[in-house]
A = this chain, B = another copy of it.
Amino acid sequence: MSARAGAAPPTPVTTRGETVPTVPPAEKAADAVDVTALLERGRTLATPVLRAAVDRLAAPMDTVAAYHFGWIDAEGNPAAGDGGKAVRPALAVMSAEAAGAAPEVGVPGAVAVELVHNFSLLHDDLMDGDEQRRHRDTVWKVHGPAQAILVGDALFALANEVLLELGTVEAGRATRRLTAASRALIDGQAQDISYEHRERVTVDECLEMEGNKTGALLACACSIGAVLGGADDRTADALERYGYHLGLAFQAVDDLLGIWGDPDSTGKQTWSDLRQRKKSLPVVAALAAGGPASEKLAEILAADAKAADVENFSEEEFASRAALIEEAGGRAWTSDEARRQHAVAVRALDEVEMPTRVREEFVALADFVVVRTR
Contacts and interface: CB of A to CB of B under 8 A. Distances in A.
Interface of A: 58-61, 119, 123, 126-127, 145-146, 149-150, 152-154, 156-158, 160-161, 164-165, 167, 169, 171-172, 175-176, 179-180, 182-183, 186-187, 189-191, 193-194
Contacts of A193: 146, 150
A167 to B, nearest CB: 8
Binding site secondary structure of chain A: helix
Given A164-B172, A169-B169, A154 B186 contact: yes
Contact of A60 (B186, B189, B194): B194
A157 B182 contact: yes
Contacts of A126: 149
B165 A183 contact: no
28 contacts: A58-B191, A59-B190, A60-B190, A60-B194, A119-B153, A123-B150, A126-B149, A127-B145, A127-B149, A127-B150, A149-B149, A150-B186, A150-B190, A152-B153, A153-B182, A153-B186, A154-B183, A154-B186, A156-B157, A157-B179, A157-B182, A157-B183, A158-B183, A160-B160, A161-B176, A172-B172, A172-B175, A175-B175
Contacts of A186: 61, 150, 153-154, 157
Contacts of A60: 190, 194
Contact of A161 (B61, B127, B172, B180): B180
A197 to B, nearest CB: 11
A182 B62 CA distance: 16
A160 B179 contact: yes
B160 A175 contact: yes
A237 to B, nearest CB: 16
Nearest to A161: B179
Nearest to A61: B190
A272 B347 CA distance: 62
Contacts of A180: 161
A194 B172 CA distance: 34
B161 A183 contact: yes
Contacts of A152: 153
Contacts of A182: 153, 157
Contacts of A146: 127, 193
Contacts of A154: 183, 186, 190
Nearest to A194: B60
Contacts of A145: 127, 145
A50 to B, nearest CB: 16
Contacts of A149: 123, 126-127, 149
Given A165-B176, A172-B171, A191-B58, A153 B150 contact: no
